[in-house]
A and B are shown apart, each in its own frame.
Chain A
Amino acid sequence: MTRKQKRGILIGAGVAILAAAAIMVAFALRDTIVFFKTPSEVAEGKVPVGQRFRLGGLVADGSVVRGQGTKITFAVTDTIGNVPVSYDGILPDLFREGQGVVTEGKLDPTGRFVADTVLAKHDENYMPPEVAAALEAKGVKLGEGATHPGKANN
């Protein structure tokens, strides 16, 4: 083999791997991404039933109801729209009323958001950027909701 042929094989193999990866990336990005929606968007009926998405906002004050076992219901709000959420599982430590929250799941036909994931965060003062943006767009002053003194959740 000449130098050129050898280089050709190496470059060809490299390009093949890159192309395969690019196809996989394109495929995965189409199928696996999850959109973020605000409670207003959901309330306006912009999200079809059964589509997986992330719902973010504040946990509405007075909305947390603990049911049988580990079942829990609460509402996520951006002060305009309000979406009831049900979840079965153990909540992250920093979950509480008045705090920012991001949940992931699907809408059921009655308009209830069935969450299978409630995202934890490490820092009391941290507000997920989507939630902050969603709230700001609705004219909610930040810093108040985010530093709500609240009570511990148990």
Chain B
Amino acid sequence: MVVEFGHFALVLATVVALFQMLVPFWGAQIQEQRMMATAKPAAIFQFLLLTVSFLALTYAYVVSDFSVANVVANSHSTKPLIYRISGVWGNHEGSMLLWVLILAAFGAAVALFGNNLPLTLKANVLAVQSAVALAFCIFLLSTSNPFLRLDNPPMDGRGLNPILQDPALAFHPPFLYAGYVGFSIAFSFAVAALIEGRTDAAWARWVRPWTLAAWMFLTLGIAMGSWWAYYELGWGGWWFWDPVENASFMPWLSGTALLHSALVMEKRETLKVWTILLAILTFSLSLMGTFLVRSGVLTSVHAFAVDPERGVAILVILSIFVGGSLALFALRAGELRQGGLFSPISREGGLVFNNVILTTATATVLVGTLYPLVLEGLTGAKISVGAPYFNLTFVPLMVPLLLALPFGPFLPWKRADLAAVAQRLLVACLIGLVAMVATMAMSMRGPWLAPIMMAIGVYVMAGALQELAYRVKLGSVGPQELMRRLWNLPRSMYGTALAHFGVGLLVVGIVGTSAYRTEKVLVMKPNDKVEIAGYELTYKGVAPHRGPNYREQVGAIDVARKGKFLLTLHPAKRIYDAPPQPTSEAGIYASWQGDLYTVLGDAQKEDGGFAIRVYFNPLVRFIWIGAVLMFIAGGISLSDRRLRVGAPRRSNRKVGQLAPTPAE
């Protein structure tokens, strides 16, 4: 009953989406207030219906209703409750339902919090948002219906892929989708602006918090996925430049660019056309990511069994929205009025530089990701593009960006003196150089580039701190005045500094673990010892163990440093009951210097030894800490009053009537 109710709610949501797409849009065309006003209740109703639908599916999973095909294929009665719930989005149908739900949630949020939006703009935005929702509702109902019943329900389900039964992965898809789908708001605003043929600073002030929120979620979602791949897949790597990873990384890159260009548009009313294009491109990349992941056209280590027909359906949706919005852009972009002037050396110029690099970087990732598809289509040759390609193209682009990054916040708007800023950043440069010398002193081996990259990472971090110090006039005011200044500093400045600091930390982590990682693969018998990165590991043997829904062989490895016992690591090999699939659980000892990472391999037939892989990944933690800092920084920026009530510094005649409301 509940399942049919959920199914019915999904159908009804589709109808509401159709209504919400047509009526408010038409109302906006003929300036009919009552028709435009229907957008708000429709968006909220659509969200409620999809919530009911999603909860119904969740209910089927929680009570293990094995008459539902989707539950049979992806759940099992012995699974712990949390994984029965996360199993809802651990499969294609359920994850697409979650996708639409989040889309509707963002639409409802605009409807609820957008009371100060001009009625026409709001109607158009919600109509566009609903068009996307409609397309995906139809997609769900026609090719990926999660509510289909089975005629002969089996006794039990087939279970969720065991490697997905993991806390980080349980929450990875919702965050990732909140990021992907969150960019739909920027898209809807961009398309609405093109329909109306006008944008202004208020428009940018509206779009920026939504973009920031989506970007935050995407940042955390990607970081969670990377962390999961790191400890669950037993390869000790955190990023593989795999197509599925790139699919989430491209919207992140262009979303980061959008965040910065919206800043210019908000403060200086320039870069309008570019910002609109970037908003369209970012969501298009999100849609393309969905297509790449869900269609399985690319070989990926992260790919899951897929159905090509669905790929075609998503490709159709992708072409309609990307093609349609770009065509609209081509028709209307010329009508947008260009704004203020600025010199190439200025805050605006810096942000343009940021945008050029980030979009170029997005393009190189796009080329690397799609090239195998194109080449196969043209010549039939099957190839793979891996890390070496991205190291040659993406990484060199990041160097100038990182070097320029600390300059950005120091540059004044309109016109700036580069030499003066460079002088202010002298301390950061020196700290970077010290880091380089220290890196070289600590480690003779490793690529020659590594100490330089390390210096750049530290320089970015120091630059971020120096900006804060400069703003509060550290050193030239007394402690009381300092406190007052720290207190009065706008939160968005803290946000900027913290996010940039996080970028630097991320770079340090990446360089540390990529350049100075050590690895040993060997066969160990009980009481065999191995030394790695100053740690002494003693293998103690394995013991069988029975978990809630798996059997495992648990190894015991004692870790000591300088003769002092630290702890025992327990890498394990598991075999799940349903489906009977083996997984490796790494034994990890995390510290600030780096992670000691152990994986149990295969048992040796003759002598009772085990193949064991041991890594030391220096500074690897900083990668995720950096990402989490960026997430927190986004939150701090969002809480800034200026974002909510509009910039008070620049008076703008239009702003008075269009004061934006909170984005939370």
Interface set of A (CB-CB < 8 Å, partner B)? 1, 3, 6, 9-10, 13-14, 17-18, 21, 24-25, 27-29, 31-36, 54, 66, 68-70, 88-91, 93-94, 102, 119-130, 133, 152-154
Contacts and interface: CB of A to CB of B under 8 A. Distances in A.
Given A6-B341, A32-B389, A91 B602 contact: yes
Interface stretch (B108-116, B352-360, B560-568, B634-642): B352-360
B599 interface: yes
B364 interface: yes
A16 B579 CA distance: 54
Contact of B603 (A28, A29, A154): A154
A144 B260 CA distance: 51
Given A9-B344, A35-B382, A90-B611, 11 more contacts: A6-B342, A21-B397, A25-B393, A28-B392, A29-B385, A33-B389, A66-B604, A69-B522, A89-B521, A126-B305, A154-B582
A21 B581 contact: no
B575 interface: yes
A114 to B, nearest CB: 16
B613 interface: yes
Contacts of B368: 25, 28-29
A122 B302 contact: yes
Classify chain B: how many residues form its interface, as a range. Answer: 35 or more
B470 interface: no
Nearest to A5: B344
A34 B303 contact: no
B303 A121 contact: yes
B573 interface: yes
A125 B604 CA distance: 28
Given A13-B353, A90-B521, A123 B305 contact: yes
Contacts of A153: 582, 602
Contacts of B357: 17
24 contacts: A1-B343, A6-B342, A14-B352, A24-B396, A25-B368, A28-B388, A33-B383, A33-B385, A34-B386, A35-B383, A36-B383, A66-B605, A69-B611, A70-B522, A70-B523, A89-B613, A90-B234, A93-B584, A122-B163, A122-B302, A122-B304, A123-B161, A123-B304, A152-B575
B326 interface: no
Nearest to B357: A17
Contacts of A14: 352, 356
A27 B584 contact: no
A133 B389 CA distance: 25
Given A70-B611, A93-B583, A33 B353 contact: no
Interface string B576-599: 000111111000000000000001
